[in-house]
Amino acid sequence: MSTNHHKRLIITSGEPAGIGPDLCLMLANDSFPVQLVVAADPELLSHRARQLKLNVNLKTFNPDDHQPAQVGELIVAPLSLSKPCTPGQPDPANGQYVLDMLSYAAQGCMNGLFDGMVTGPVHKEVINNAGVPFTGHTEFLAEQTHTRKVVMMLATKGLRVALATTHLPLRDVADAITPESLEAVIRILDKDLKNKFGIAEPEVLVCGLNPHAGEGGHLGTEEIEVMIPVLDKLRQEGMNLKGPLPADTLFNPNYLESADAVLAMYHDQGLPVLKFKGFGKAVNITLGLPLVRTSVDHGTALDLAGSGKASPDSLLTAIDYALQAVKG
């Protein structure tokens, strides 16, 4: 990690034809207590800045200089596009460019060049059309860091939601929640809330899988057969776990005011609530990695690229959470 008192975050600008480069350029409007380094093609940023009518001084990244950029400046770690880019028109020829910036950022975090990474939005279809199998940031970074198990958590002001399973068809969810997988997810969540967010004794609310948390076995037995034994075991170790609780009543102030995170059993159980509460000002956080990684909660918004209408709020939130984690 950085030895200077200024932390350093690497920001990947994502799909070059999307709003990622626009959002990165908007960072030059503010000052930060941390050095932000944007991985991108400088020519792309220069061209997009002219389109957006932004006067931004692009400075080439110097690893020996830890000073944060001044207002009006953007520090850039240069990578080269394979082909010139037109806003709103993604080209598979630049798919490898996107992966190269992710690899650069991950390796930089692993070797201590950066204290954490913040990822801009990518276009999975474009990368796959380039002939590179790609399911998402999370899986790619797990492979890059040789991490066997990671946990997806989204956060906004006043709410963190982690997932026991992620992108699975609903019919496969119950079979995917095994005692081993559930225990592994809870251990990662508890550890990272402590180590990356500085919460000494995190309280986690655990959603039941079934309606009414199974209603004593009348609406499903997963709570009784899988979840309760795991929760009891981890409580014996001192973890502060509440549940399994009915998901339809868990998300209310009586429960949430003292909780540090909610663990949902599947994607659409927990994330609709979080996105309703904070869409546009939420952040995606990958737990379990040997590095800090946060991300925006939106896509590439190809129709907004180069228009000046994109909002940097989610990127700013992702930077804030990354900074919290590297200080944690």
pLDDT > 60? residue 15: yes
Do 117 and 109 meet the contact criterion of CB atoms below 8 Å apart? yes
**pLDDT digit string (tens) for 272-287?**
999 999 877 889 999 9
pLDDT > 50? residue 3: no
212 assigned to a ligand binding site? yes
pLDDT > 90? residue 133: no
Predicted confidence band of residue 263 (pLDDT cuts 50, 70, 90): very high
293 assigned to a ligand binding site? yes
Residue 318, CA atoms < 13 Å, CB-side half-sphere: 33
Do 74 and 35 meet the contact criterion of CB atoms below 8 Å apart? no
**pLDDT digit string (tens) for 70-127?**
999 999 999 999 999 999 999 999 999 999 999 999 999 999 999 999 999 999 899 9
138 assigned to a ligand binding site? yes
**pLDDT digit string (tens) for 191-244?**
999 998 899 999 999 999 999 999 999 999 999 999 999 999 999 999 999 999
Question: CB under 8 Å to 283, separation ≥6 — which residues?
Answer: 154, 155, 156, 294, 295, 296, 297, 314, 317, 318, 320, 321
284 assigned to a ligand binding site? yes
Mean pLDDT for 277-300 is 91
167 assigned to a ligand binding site? yes
137 assigned to a ligand binding site? yes
Q: Which of 175, 235, 241 is nearest to 206 (CA)?
A: 241
146 assigned to a ligand binding site? no
Instruction: Characterize 224-258 residue by residue with b for buried, 16 or more Cβ atoms within 10 angstroms of its Cβ, and e for exposed.
Output: eebbbebbeebeeeebebbbbbebeebbeeebbee
φ, ψ of residue 252 to 5 degrees: the values are -140, 160
Report pLDDT for 1: 43
What is the Cα–Cα distance from 262 to 260, expressed in whole angstroms? 7
